[in-house]
Structure formats: structure tokens, C-alpha cells
């Protein structure tokens, strides 16, 4: 499907302490003729929550902030995130994103090569 209304799409709820919602917008499994080897998520990190510290062995991750404020941690470096900023985590490098205010940190995340739709489900199960 070429057009998707993200606000109407179901998401996967990641429980506390890393409370957030991941919506798989485009992925090779869902849209093989459209996106090739790319995964596009929308990620909403709840206020004062964060992702776990993690890395992706093969995929690079680009995070683009739509709204909210927070921090992007890459190794030992902390970057300030705000609307219209982008943050890149190379393959194999530990990283984390944090919402630091009373509003959610809403981002678009792109993975290349693709991580697949199983990624969001694994995160929801604490893997």
C-alpha cells in the first residue's frame, strides 16, 4: 500500500521500564514491492521513558524527531534531541533514546538493511 495513515495503524506496546509504542509502517514483509531492504517504524517514547541500550549487528538506524525533546546516547556521547533533528546509530554501536520532558518523544526510525517486523514483537517480549 503506497499511502498509510500511521495514526490509524496498530502498534506494539513495549512495557516499562522502556515504555514506548512501535508501529511498523513499511517493511519488506509487509511491502516487498515498495521498500526493498528498508524498515520504517514510528516510535513514540512515553514521557520520562527510554529505549533499552542496544545495538543492531547488521543494520544502521536513523532516528528523526517529529516532536518532543530528549537525548540520543551513542556509546559515551549524549546528544540533545528536538523536533527536526536526526540521530544515526551505526551497526554494532550501543545506543539509546530518552524522552526527557512531560511529552512523548515521537520519532521516525529507518533501518537499512531492514530489521523486519519481528523486531517490534521481540522488543515487546523483552528480547
3-state secondary structure labels for all residues of 27-46 = CCCCCHHHHCCCEEEEEEEC
Q: What confidence score (pLDDT) does residue 120 get?
A: 61
Q: CB neighbours of 119 closer than 8 A, spacing ≥ 6?
A: 22, 39, 111
pLDDT in tens, 85-108: 999 999 999 999 999 999 999 999
Q: What confidence score (pLDDT) does residue 115 get?
A: 87
pTM more than 0.95: no
| pLDDT band at residue 126 under the 50/70/90 scheme | low
For 49-103, CATH number?
2.60.120.10
Domain locations in the chain? 49-103
Q: What confidence score (pLDDT) does residue 111 get?
A: 95
Of the chain, the percentage scoring pLDDT greater than 90 comes to: 80
Q: CB neighbours of 79 closer than 8 A, spacing ≥ 6?
A: 71, 72, 73, 87
Amino acid at each position: 500500500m503506497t499511502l498509510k495513515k500511521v495514526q490509524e495503524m496498530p502498534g506494539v506496546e513495549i512495557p516499562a521500564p522502556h515504555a514506548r509504542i512501535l508501529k511498523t509502517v513499511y517493511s519488506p514483509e509487509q511491502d516487498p514491492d515498495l521498500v526493498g531492504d528498508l524498515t520504517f517504524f514510528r516510535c513514540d517514547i512515553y514521557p520520562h521513558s527510554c529505549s533499552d541500550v542496544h545495538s543492531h549487528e547488521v543494520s544502521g538506524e536513523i532516528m528523526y524527531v517529529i516532536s518532543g525533546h530528549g537525548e540520543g546516547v551513542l556509546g559515551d556521547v549524549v546528544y540533545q534531541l528536538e523536533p527536526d533533528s536526526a540521530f544515526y546509530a551505526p551497526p554494532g554501536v550501543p545506543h539509546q533514546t530518552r524522552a526527557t520532558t512531560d511529552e512523548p518523544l515521537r520519532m521516525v526510525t529507518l533501518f537499512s538493511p531492514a530489521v523486519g517486523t519481528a523486531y517490534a514483537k521481540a522488543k515487546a517480549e523483552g528480547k
